[in-house]
Structure 1
Amino acid sequence: MSHPVRPLLFVPRYWPGMGGAELHSRRLAQELALQVPIEVARCCDEEARPTDLAFAYAEPRCVRDDDMLVHTIAPANSWKGGIRLLAEASKRSRIARGVYGHLARRLARSSFQNIADGATVAHAIYNGFTPGAQALQALGKPFVWTPLAHTTKPTGTAWSSPQFRALYRKADALIAMTDFEREWLIGQGASPSRVHVCPMAPLFAEDVPEPQLFRENHALGEDPFILFLGRTAQYKGYGTVLEATPRIWEQHPTARFVFAGPVTSEASALFSQHQDPRILVTGPLTDADKKSALAACSLVCVPSTEESLGVVYLEGWSFEKPVIAADIPALQSVIESGKDGLLIEPSTLAVANAVAELLGRPSWAAELGKNGARKVERQYNWASIADAHLKIYQSVI
């Protein structure tokens, strides 16, 4: 006999925060809401503070997102002053970080208890704030965790730290983005029977893309342009693309470069050192503009060294664009190099050579993009992804 499924989905930084996990978890929640009652919890909805510290400054509230209630978990009023002091001290002190994590876990659990009564399963999608996932697991409800593992971090840190390994063992179900991530999680101590592979899918507005309007609005003319789409964090490789531009211009002097996504202060400083009209920094795009940029670009180049799936490559494929990505294990199970994209060493020279080759061989580039589009159609769609999550939830209730 099946049991009722009422998920509480916890995403530390949730929409309207801008980023892959934020936006994709919202779409997952929306798809799930078409079939079951679901509520969402978060501790951060902005970009100003690191996700792991944002809980200290959160204020409890509840808003409605379509048919879903979205709760902000927060420290009790009596603890706000103390935990904020610890949050600031944790930036400098390992001891303070430990105390902050312990207290945040305790306070987060208390906040969760105020909203989790009706939930039959608790599902955390990780994009920061480990104490939140630990607190959700400690509620005593069936616990599902999507760690979005960045497997290239040094052994014993981050996703292979003792805290994470404990959560892998305690979770009633783990969701991996790829077969590679599944095997990696098992290697970290997760039970093979509890690890499921269930990727995310591309995100698009319903608007019809307007590639020519995107070109006109950004004065791109008819020149080929390379699209970097994502947060300008160092590991994403935006700096490598930027440093490769002079080499690419040697062979393709009319090539333009569009960097679209949230811009960090570090990135702003680097962009200021590359003052060339062929480089355009747009900042975050609306859904419609992102769709139009993907339709208009010549190729997508994001040589990120830390990915669990890399949905940006699926988004490029959805518009039959060839993609360039870093040759890391997680992406080797997504991209077939030379068939639907290029996997390269994440270096300036390798990026320059790959971009120049695709621009110089447009027929081959188009073939890679078409192959990628067929892969997306076969393997990545939201309805089947929501159904897979519901089956996982049902299996642990």
Structure 2
Amino acid sequence: MAHARLAIADPPAPAPATRVSAEGLRIALFSGNYNCVRDGANRALNRLVAHLLDRGAAVRVYSPTSANPAFPPAGDLISVPSIGIPGRSEYRLATGLPARLRADLDAFAPTHVHLSCPDILGGRAQAYARARGIPAVASLHTRFETYPAYYGLPFLAPPIRARLRYFYSRCDRVMAPNPAMAATLAAFGVAPDRVRLWGRGVDHRLFSPTLRSSERRRAQGYAEDEPVLLFFGRLVHEKGLETFLATVEELRSRGHGVRPLVVGEGPARSWLADRLPDAVYTGHLDGEALGRAVASADILINPSVTEAFGNVNLEAMASGLAIVSADVGSAQALIEHGRTGLLVAPADPMAYADATEALMADPSRRLRLGRAAAEASRAYHWPDILDAVVHVYRGAAGE
């Protein structure tokens, strides 16, 4: 299976021993939901802010806030006016950038405005930066144009794509998580010389094959030689829950008594639990408990096509799991088909079931894939990846 890759010119990353300074940078970061929800985008942004502060930058974060945040925020968080999103109350939508916040921005005197979401707040912040001649740097985290199909609203996809095209084409730099998303930006009309790559890292202390626990497996009713199929991520329909369910049902129709492990939480949990009541549901886990749960599974099934990067795939790779993932750009950037995982037709439960069944029947192949995946994950080192963002800021300012 061949996968095309887009080559993008980017400044070389610093050597691992180099400590990049961010002194003199004053970053105003605008987020859609900085710590309201524990998802990959928010975790990456919080990690970035902590890193920038450690490297000597000043950072001020503007975002909707929640009465019950998912985790403590990194840095100074300024609450912006917002409303709850109907049907998805865990997310909030900023309603604008009022005069008091513009005054706060003026007092902070940012050298850069970082836009992480193309929402109303992001648009107002972009206009603020352009009016004052401040470099506007955007980071792309989510494929918003794919969401309407999961909620019966396909007519919204064209206006969303138009919004993304308008928003990203007006930024001085846009950071894509991988070459596939850089190609998407090119399709949106963003000039290639404005695109840079900002990938993601993985914490190998928390995601490691050494955290595999036979005791945990037994406590959940799994035999040591029983293949444990994992769904890992937020339980929302846009993560491919329907495809995951159909894959499990297909495997059962073939005589495999699989009992999946579902790690994560979200508004679609009851939907999935009603249809898959005998799965093991851990709810939200964090820290070593999360790493141990992931490492104690055997095969990750990841049918999501909405990922911009694919943190779940990388964390499962670092944990030594065999992976069956949707064959989309985010997965292609991480997984070498047949060596560090298997890539299958994105919306075809039969294809997921075929690949999973083959791995269930061949434990030695499953182990080879997991070992190769864990080794490949070693290249994703957070400090170097976050230092690359500092270089993007410097470049946007002409330094």
Q: What's the TM-score, normalizing by structure 1? A: 0.79
Which residue of the partner structure matches residue 42 of structure 1? 63
Is 1:138 the counterpart of 2:159? The answer is: no
Q: 1:197-228: per-residue Cα shift (whole Å, max 9, x none)? A: 11112246659836234324534342321111
Is 1:22 the counterpart of 2:24? The answer is: no
Shift of 1:391: 0.4
Contact 1:344–1:350 (Cα < 8 Å) also in 2? yes
Identical-residue share of aligned pairs (%): 22
Following the alignment from structure 2 to structure 1, what is the Cα–Cα distance between the partners of residues 174 and 110? 18
Following the alignment from structure 1 to structure 2, what is the Cα–Cα distance between the partners of residues 213 and 135? 52
Which residue of the partner structure matches residue 17 of structure 2? none
Is 1:390 the counterpart of 2:390? The answer is: yes
Shift of 1:331: 2.6
Q: Which moved more, 1:303-312 or 1:133-142?
A: 133-142
Following the alignment from structure 1 to structure 2, what is the Cα–Cα distance between the partners of residues 152 and 375? 30
Q: 1:278-306: per-residue Cα shift (whole Å, max 9, x none)? A: x1122211222210012111021111121
Which residue of the partner structure matches residue 272 of structure 1? 274
Is 1:300 the counterpart of 2:300? The answer is: yes
Contact 1:261–1:284 (Cα < 8 Å) also in 2? yes
Shift of 1:133: 1.0
Following the alignment from structure 2 to structure 1, what is the Cα–Cα distance between the partners of residues 359 and 348? 17
- 252 and 30 in structure 1: CA distance in 2 versus 1, 3 angstrom threshold: farther
Following the alignment from structure 1 to structure 2, what is the Cα–Cα distance between the partners of residues 156 and 31? 37
Contact 1:230–1:262 (Cα < 8 Å) also in 2? yes
Which residue of the partner structure matches residue 317 of structure 1? 317
- 15 and 188 in structure 1: CA distance in 2 versus 1, 3 angstrom threshold: same
- 18 and 370 in structure 1: CA distance in 2 versus 1, 3 angstrom threshold: same
How many residues of Structure 1 are paired with residues of Structure 2 in the alignment? 355
Superposition RMSD on alpha carbons, in Å?
A: 3.2
Shift of 1:23: 1.5
Is 1:258 the counterpart of 2:254? The answer is: no
Between Structure 1 and Structure 2, the one with more helix by share is 1
Which residue of the partner structure matches residue 242 of structure 2? 239
Following the alignment from structure 2 to structure 1, what is the Cα–Cα distance between the partners of residues 221 and 142? 39
Determine helix, strand or coil for the equivalent of 1:183. Answer: helix
Which residue of the partner structure matches residue 366 of structure 2? 365
- 206 and 296 in structure 1: CA distance in 2 versus 1, 3 angstrom threshold: closer
Following the alignment from structure 2 to structure 1, what is the Cα–Cα distance between the partners of residues 36 and 284? 12
Following the alignment from structure 1 to structure 2, what is the Cα–Cα distance between the partners of residues 112 and 285? 38
Q: 1:175-212: per-residue Cα shift (whole Å, max 9, x none)? A: 00111111221221111111001111224665983623
Following the alignment from structure 1 to structure 2, what is the Cα–Cα distance between the partners of residues 203 and 261? 18
Is 1:124 the counterpart of 2:124? The answer is: no
Shift of 1:236: 1.2
| Residue ranges of structure 2 left out of the alignment (5+ in a row) | 1-21, 88-92, 147-153
Give 1:1-397 correspondences, 5 Å limit: 4-15=24-35, 17-37=37-57, 38-45=59-66, 65=73, 68-74=75-81, 104-107=95-98, 110-115=100-105, 117-126=108-117, 130-140=119-129, 141-150=134-143, 153=146, 157=157, 161-203=161-203, 209=211, 211-222=213-224, 223-249=226-252, 253=256, 255-264=258-267, 266-276=268-278, 279-345=279-345, 346-378=347-379, 380-397=380-397
Determine helix, strand or coil for the equivalent of 2:339. Answer: coil
Shift of 1:254: 5.2
- 206 and 188 in structure 1: CA distance in 2 versus 1, 3 angstrom threshold: closer
Q: 1:47-98: per-residue Cα shift (whole Å, max 9, x none)? A: 89xxxxxxxxxxxxxx9846x22222226xxxxxxxx6xx78x99xxxxxxx
Following the alignment from structure 1 to structure 2, what is the Cα–Cα distance between the partners of residues 326 and 312? 12
| Residue ranges of structure 1 left out of the alignment (5+ in a row) | 49-62, 76-83, 92-100
Following the alignment from structure 2 to structure 1, what is the Cα–Cα distance between the partners of residues 377 and 286? 22
Determine helix, strand or coil for the equivalent of 2:124. Answer: helix
Determine helix, strand or coil for the equivalent of 1:12. Answer: coil
Following the alignment from structure 1 to structure 2, what is the Cα–Cα distance between the partners of residues 251 and 293? 27
Contact 2:199–2:385 (Cα < 8 Å) also in 1? yes
Determine helix, strand or coil for the equivalent of 1:256. Answer: coil
Following the alignment from structure 2 to structure 1, what is the Cα–Cα distance between the partners of residues 261 and 41? 22
Contact 2:300–2:324 (Cα < 8 Å) also in 1? yes
Shift of 1:250: 5.6
